[in-house]
Amino acid sequence: MADISHSPMPEDPRRYHKLGAQYQKWIDDPSSKGCKVATATLTRERMLDQPPGSALWLMEEEFLTGAPKEDLEGGDPVSMNITLERVYVETVVTNKSKMMGLWLKNTYHHIMGPGIIIAANISRKCGPHWNEIAQALYDATFKIQTLRHIVFTDVVNLETAGYVENELYPKCRNNSERFCLELQYDTPEYQKILGTSLGKAAACLVLSTFPRGTMRISRALTWRSRYGSVTVRFDIIPAR
């Protein structure tokens, strides 16, 4: 359940286009002004290095597993060129953060393998941003420079799921069918999905990880899982 935040869908979807185009420009052009995304510095060691009994961070599960074929089915997995060996790490991390005097729980459930981050259940109310958590967990095992794919499964985020279900699918094809829709780099559709919550999360991961102008999000893909939920994938390639 990829959520991150229950952002309401804007009344004018053209806002997505403007935001996505801006994030694309920040990623592509290091001279573009206004980007406030900082380099990620959080590490897995820092998450776990906490005073006894504080329980601000909790690594609930961490184990090796095989390639999550079911999560990728229907989304052109062959093009990803990822390994199918049992080298994937599944983690469930929880974090307690304080907001307006209340302690709130954030959940980050990932499956990660060489070249890929799969966000399975992300529920963030406050505290560290998702891109910081994902970068720290991935880099601890696979080194962040190898990252090439970001996948959000079972998307329930109101912005991203709302745009895909209500704007994108109806314009492109019968949305009752299972099909993979590819959104090419620098197109209006690509920029619109990049301007939704999960698109911005993927963009922030790229911006906080790689020097600007060195990598780009080459395309976005979206499809329905076998259970009918929306899945979104962002591919990352060197800019040159």
List the chain pLDDT tens, one digit each, 240 residues.
555 554 555 556 789 999 999 999 999 999 999 999 999 999 998 888 876 656 678 887 777 888 888 899 889 999 999 998 999 999 999 887 666 566 678 899 999 999 999 999 998 877 789 999 999 999 999 999 999 999 999 998 889 999 999 989 888 765 455 679 999 999 999 999 999 999 999 999 999 999 999 999 999 999 998 888 899 999 999 997
pLDDT of 49 reads 81
Write down the pLDDT at residue 171: 82
- Owner of token pair 């999960």: 198
pTM, entire model: 0.90
